[in-house]
Every structure is written in structure tokens, then in C-alpha cells.
Amino acid sequence: MELSHPLIKDGWFREESEEFFPGQAMRLRVEKILHAERSKFQDVLVFKSTDFGNVLVLDGIIQVTERDEFAYQEMITHVPMFAHPSPKKVLVIGGGDGGVLREVLKHDCVEKATLVEIDESVINLSRKYLPKMSHALDHEKVQVVLADGFEFLKNTAAKHESEKYDIIITDSSDPEGPAEAFFQKQYFELLYNALNANGMVISMASENIWLNIDKLKTLKDICSQVFSVTECCYCTIPTYTSGQIALMCCSKNPQLKVSVPHRHESRDRESELFRYYNNAIHGASFVLPRWAADKLN
């Protein structure tokens, strides 16, 4: 029996949300629906598009497409990883597709990478339909924990400094359903307490300067109440509505500036490892248009 989904009509997937994307929408042409279900936590849809490869959608919002996922995965990972002098222990909250883990493991200094994902169906479907991302889930340095990220951080915060993390990457979905708590002050306080003294965190901001800069400023203000250093950067990615996503970057140590890469790869090595990230784009991604910089700062 051919699968159907309420967000797919006349061969097109429609991403529409007046809450997150007022007055605009995103469409992708569908070749075939691969999977559709209501998991324990959220609506999950996977389809093959005609031009962007396989697409993972959670609660009606595009999470990744095979064609452009590297832009987001590389920036949310390598900005904090290269800003830190020697990240050995990395925690990824969300990101059950494995894309961030794939990028984390490109750093030889990493000794252990822990993924905390609440929805096992995301992991299982990514293994099946997104193999170029999910293969990192099986790496010997990776520990996969099926748990609520909030609870995991509470437990980590109570541990000895030696068991805390150098880098925490919050690769959540948008702030509704199971991810809503990831955009509150209490969550960033937990992040702070789960980091060691030189720790850094980067979080998907859900917004960008073109969608709702007021919400982005609210998130930046929340982070600034908790962390010594808080800066906003962005990456361009066509299948995120309006073609851009903001990332909130925070450092526990006031001397570690997230906008400055402290480690470098050669240009040849960058070409081997990355498709989007490079040393120059690291700093450039923090340069915002004048009106946006004035608003956020």
C-alpha cells in the first residue's frame, strides 16, 4: 500500500508554521514517501525528494536533507571544536541522525563522543535512510545513550570535574514538543554545569535574523545571563526556511573566544575533510549585517 501524509499534497511536501515561519513556507517535490509514523515523542516522516535526496522531517519541520545537510552539521560542530584548544570529551544532545557525530570524529584529539537522543526511532530510521550520516553512530569512540537530554545533564552536573565535557553541542529540533525545554534559561544553566572549566557549548537557535530576530535576541540574552561569552553566528542552508540558521555559541572561560579558531588545518586538509567549513568562514560567520548586530548586541 502506498504511504500518504497530510503534509504531502499533489507531489509536494509543505513546511508551514505560522508560529515559526509567519507568512512564508517551504516546499520540496516528493518522489516517494519512505516512512511515516507517530513515535512516542513526535511525528516522524522520511521521504525521497526529486532533488535533495532523502529528507527527515520531525513534527512537520525539515531536519536534514542528503543534499545540503553538511552545511549545518559542519558549522554547528567545527566552530566550537576549532575554537577550543584541545577538545577531548564531546557531548551531543539530540542529533540522532549521526551527522554531528560524523563531524566530531574528524578531530583526532577527541577521545570520547557521547550522543544523547530521546527518540530511538530517529536513530533507527537514520541508520536505514541516511547511511552517510548515521555510520558515525557505530564508531568505537561513540557512546549512544537513549535518554532525555535534560535529565542526562542534571546527572552530569552533579559529577566530578573530570567527568564533565569540553564541548556540548545541542542539535535539537525546534522549540515545541520534546525540544521545547532546550530554549529555556534552566537548560543553559545545566549546560554550564556539565562543562569543565574551559568548556564551550553551541546550540541550534531555531531562528535566524530574517525570521524572528526578537526571539533570537531573547535566546542570546538568556545565554548571556549564564555564560561569560555568548556570540551568534550562522550558516546558509537552502532547505531551512529563509535559507539560513543561527547558532548560539557560548564559552564558560571568558578567555576562550568562540569566534576565533585556535587550531587550524592546512588548506589541503580542509579540502579533504570539509565541504562548507574553513578557517576563514569560521570568523566570517560571526559578522552580522549592521541592523542585526545592533539589535542583538
User: Which cell numbers hold the place of 91?
Assistant: 557531548
Residues annotated catalytic, as ranges: 171
CA distances, 276 to each of 82, 86, 238 (Å): 14, 22, 13
| CB < 8 Å & 24+ apart, contacts of 181-188 | 181/150, 182/93, 182/94, 182/149, 182/150, 183/219, 183/222, 184/222, 185/222, 185/225, 185/226, 187/150, 187/153, 188/222, 188/223, 188/226, 188/227, 188/250
Question: Can you tell me the distance from the alpha carbon of 110 to that of 213, in angstroms, rounded to the nearest whole number?
Answer: 35
Collect all residues with Cβ–Cβ distance below 8 Å to 46 and sequence separation of at least 6. 33, 34, 35, 36, 54, 55, 56, 57, 125, 129
- Residue 86 φ then ψ, to 5°: -160, 75
Contact yes or no for 9/28 (Cβ under 8 A): no
What residues form DSSP beta bridges with 65?
A: 55
Collect all residues with Cβ–Cβ distance below 8 Å to 52 and sequence separation of at least 6. 28, 65, 66, 67, 68, 239
User: Which cell numbers hold the place of 219?
Assistant: 535566546
